Structure 1
Amino acid sequence: MSDIERVALSEASAEDLIVWLNDDVKVDADAFVRALPFVRANGLQSVIVCGTREPATGSVSYAGFNRHGLHPLSLRVIEPLPNSPVPIDTFNGNFVIVPEIVARSVGGIDGEFSHALADIDYGFRCHAAGVDVYLAPGTFGECPRNPPSPPTSVLREWRQFTGVKGGGNFASSRRILRKRNPLTWSAFLGATYALWWLRLLTRGRRS
């Protein structure tokens, strides 16, 4: 738990909410008015994820995920429904509402991750602690996704994937897999990189 989280919890009451908000999210004027009924409907016992959209197109940019496949990090994107919340396994942490009681139960964000996967890890930890996670209906602000990298060399793509901000960063991938699968994490870690190379080779054949 970070120092900021400790201070927030030390001053929070049972009715308070902790909001995760990336600095690149432009929140809708009525975002909290629309989100609060879903927080209260679950008795301040659940995490509520608020999806965001692309400024230019209005399409969903960040939302939630459900497990999909044998690999612990094989995730399928879940987009918000128009009118009802959706239970999800984990999420992008761009705009998330965490009730105080949940924050005390689950703990803070794991600061040992390099960049990516800390929010994914938190969603998994919620479920391990018996805390439900829901994706609220609709979107609650604008947040553009990082633009895709232009075609480049295989070595540069590999360095991006395994770098500090990459989804395949070795230290972060090892950390989340060891948490989820203490006995078989090394096999899944190897599979992570094997699948990356398989997708690269398959992409090359299609092109």
Structure 2
Amino acid sequence: MRSLCVLMSCFNRRDKTLACLDTLAPERLALQTRGIDLQAVLLDDGSTDGTAQAVAAAHPWVCVVRGPGQLYWCRGMHEAQQHPLARAADWQLWLNDDVLLEPGFLPRLLDCEQALRQQGQLGLVVGATRDARTGQLSYGGERRLSRWRRSRFTLVAPSDQPLLCDSMNGNIVLLPREVREQVGDLDPAFEHAMGDTDYALRTRALGLGVWLAPGFMGWCSDNPRTGSYHDRSLPWERRWQLMLSRKGLPWRSWLRLMRRHMGLAWPLFFVWPYLRLLLERWRRPAP
């Protein structure tokens, strides 16, 4: 049998992780009828809420690997990619643990990947999600806003045909072995986010496709801007602190992304978001 290995990274979201796996488990039978063995590797990054034990009890087919507690998303997923089950798989499926999957999503992703392959369009396939509160598009494939705004991307709404994208969110990503062998793994230099963007841009730079599959594959609420460095109701000093944090725009990760993908103008792309926030402080009206 061929194999598909689901890769997840989690930290202290036991109920969400279990709910995600509950929606994934029925896909095992659907894939068995296709001669595909569905496996899963969950990198539990030091959870203290009993996530590992709960997953082992409810879904013993999932291989739980313990992390040190400081990996965050990209480095956690990179570690999951090193597991023997992931290395040997014919496909990897990146999956965020806060996604609730639509029934039959995996056969649809595989059908899309196989149809593209038959057309000579080798690449990875991204699944779009909707926000559970609003029903609106929340994550999926992305395209550049313009050639002059090369570091900015906007979400692409799925249609009834695969759509070629420039970048992606890593919430649901089907990665064939042939693509992984050319592109490599997620870069652990990225502290949390940006690793999925980097992977998509590396894929496109090699002439491979980043395809958005038709339709929606699941539900995943969008991260709110409230409480982030984008939140203008917060004191400026707090916004600056959040911007430099791992879940904001940490400068080392941003620098690596810009230097790798933005060409000779990378210093301008690198400095602009930090400069923009600094300008907001200088423009504040006097008390």
TM over 0.5: yes
Whichever residue aligns with residue 36 of structure 1, its letter is L
TM-score (normalizing by structure 1): 0.86
Q: CA deviation at 1:79?
A: 1.8
Q: How does 1:15-54 map to 2 (within 5 A)?
A: 16-43=90-117, 45-54=122-131
Q: CA deviation at 1:63?
A: 1.4
Q: CA deviation at 1:3?
A: 4.3
Q: Is the 8 A contact 1:28 1:140 kept in 2?
A: yes
**What percent identity do the matched residue pairs reach?**
32
- Once the two structures are superposed, residues 138-178 of structure 1 have per-residue CA deviations (whole angstroms, 9 ceiling, x without a partner) of 21111111223152111212222221111x22111101011
Q: Is the 8 A contact 2:127 2:216 kept in 1?
A: yes
Give the secondary-structure state (helix, strand or coil) at the position aligned to 2:189: coil
Give the secondary-structure state (helix, strand or coil) at the position aligned to 1:75: strand
Give the number of the structure with larger relative contact order, counting CA–CA contacts within 8 Å between residues 6 or more apart.
1
* Closer, same or farther: CA 34–9 of 1 in aligned 2, 3 Å: closer
- Once the two structures are superposed, residues 115-153 of structure 1 have per-residue CA deviations (whole angstroms, 9 ceiling, x without a partner) of 121111111000111111111122111111122315211
Structure 2: where are the runs of 5+ without partners? 1-76, 228-232
Give the secondary-structure state (helix, strand or coil) at the position aligned to 1:42: helix
Whichever residue aligns with residue 99 of structure 1, its letter is P
Cα RMSD over matched residues? 2.3
User: Which whole-Å CA distance do the structure 2 matches of 1:32 and 1:3 have between them?
Assistant: 23
Q: Paired residue for 1:162?
A: 244
User: Which whole-Å CA distance do the structure 1 matches of 2:150 and 2:209 have between them?
Assistant: 18
More strand by share: 2
* Closer, same or farther: CA 48–204 of 1 in aligned 2, 3 Å: farther
Give the count of matched residue pairs: 198
Q: How does 1:27-106 map to 2 (within 5 A)?
A: 27-43=101-117, 45-69=122-146, 70-81=148-159, 83-106=160-183
Q: CA deviation at 1:204?
A: 7.4
- Once the two structures are superposed, residues 162-204 of structure 1 have per-residue CA deviations (whole angstroms, 9 ceiling, x without a partner) of 21111x2211110101111464322321223234456x57x97
Q: Is the 8 A contact 2:125 2:174 kept in 1?
A: yes
Q: Is the 8 A contact 1:50 1:135 kept in 2?
A: yes
- Once the two structures are superposed, residues 1-57 of structure 1 have per-residue CA deviations (whole angstroms, 9 ceiling, x without a partner) of 934323245423xxx211000111111121112222111111182110001111122
Whichever residue aligns with residue 216 of structure 2, its letter is T
